[in-house]
Amino acid sequence: MNNSQQNILLIDKPSEWTSFDVVAKIRGQIKAAYRAQGEKPTKRQLKVGHAGTLDPFATGLLIILLGDATKQAGEFLKLDKVYEATFRLGQTSTTGDPEGSITNTSDRIPTREEVEQAIQQFIGEITQTPPAYSAIKINGQRAYKLAREGKDVDVPERIVTIYSIELLDYSYPEVKIRTHVGSGTYIRTLGEDIGKSLRTGAFCSQLRRTRIGDYDITNATTIAHYLAI
């Protein structure tokens, strides 16, 4: 990366905020700072973007790029990521997360050994079908927009890499993991696939991104900091 660190902000995104909400807040603060000095910011100075979205229900590391750093967004998107996720067994969701319609699917209670064995199956190069409710473009349109309109969404499979999955806790119906994944991996889909393997069904009830490449959540600033400015 050739950009100065001052053009890269690390934000700890709260739940219920979209990634665009964070971008808009930062842009608004930049505009207010220039106006406070009696200056009118240029389009270049108001250029703000993010390097990889987080679902509204998710929390954690969101990289915000300012000015010319936005040109390097593609480089950030290719970086590995680390997530902590909680999957709820025995239920499925139309969106793979708490935002969708939840359906009870099974009262089967897997053993911890079964959960650990199921998780191990997904380490390495695997095939995933990303969620219909995702930002992937299908014929030029976002998949989630088509899904919300009730249209059939045929999302193509992709090969992704999962470097590691660590079982942090299992107390039925919740399975908590930490996983290190390559770019393009959907954790919601991972949860659903683990649920299918366990014959229980599952959805991702909580998701937190803690690392993107060498950028760590411990160095991030909360959005509350910017709300206070």
The answer, yes or no, to whether residue 139 has pLDDT greater than 70, is no
Cross-strand partners of 222: 12
Concatenated DSSP letters of 115-126: HHHHHHTTSEEE
Catalytic residues, by residue number, are: 55
Domains of the chain: 5-79+214-227 (3.30.2350.10), 81-212 (3.30.2350.10)
Over residues 123-142, mean pLDDT:
72
Alpha-carbon separation of residue 156 from 92, 130, 160 (angstroms): 21, 8, 13
* The predicted structure's pLDDT at residue 1: 37
pLDDT band at 2 (very low <50, low <70, confident <90, very high): very low
pLDDT band at 45 (very low <50, low <70, confident <90, very high): confident
* The predicted structure's pLDDT at residue 190: 97
Three-state SS for 137? strand
pLDDT band at 143 (very low <50, low <70, confident <90, very high): low
The torsion angles phi and psi of 5, rounded to 5 degrees, stand at -60, -20
The answer, yes or no, to whether residue 138 has pLDDT greater than 90, is no
Over residues 108-128, mean pLDDT:
97
This prediction has a pTM of 0.88
How many other C-beta atoms lie within 10 A of the C-beta of residue 190? 26
Under 8 Å CB-to-CB from 52, ≥6 apart: which residues?
62, 63, 76, 77, 81, 212
* The predicted structure's pLDDT at residue 192: 96
The answer, yes or no, to whether residue 200 has pLDDT greater than 80, is yes
State how far the Cα of 206 lies from the Cα of 14, in Å rounded to an integer: 12
More confident residue, 150 or 66: 66
Q: Which two tokens stand for residue 208?
A: 């937190």
Lowest mean pLDDT among 24-38, 77-91, 159-173, 202-216: 24-38
State how far the Cα of 223 lies from the Cα of 15, in Å rounded to an integer: 11
* The predicted structure's pLDDT at residue 183: 92
State how far the Cα of 74 lies from the Cα of 14, in Å rounded to an integer: 24
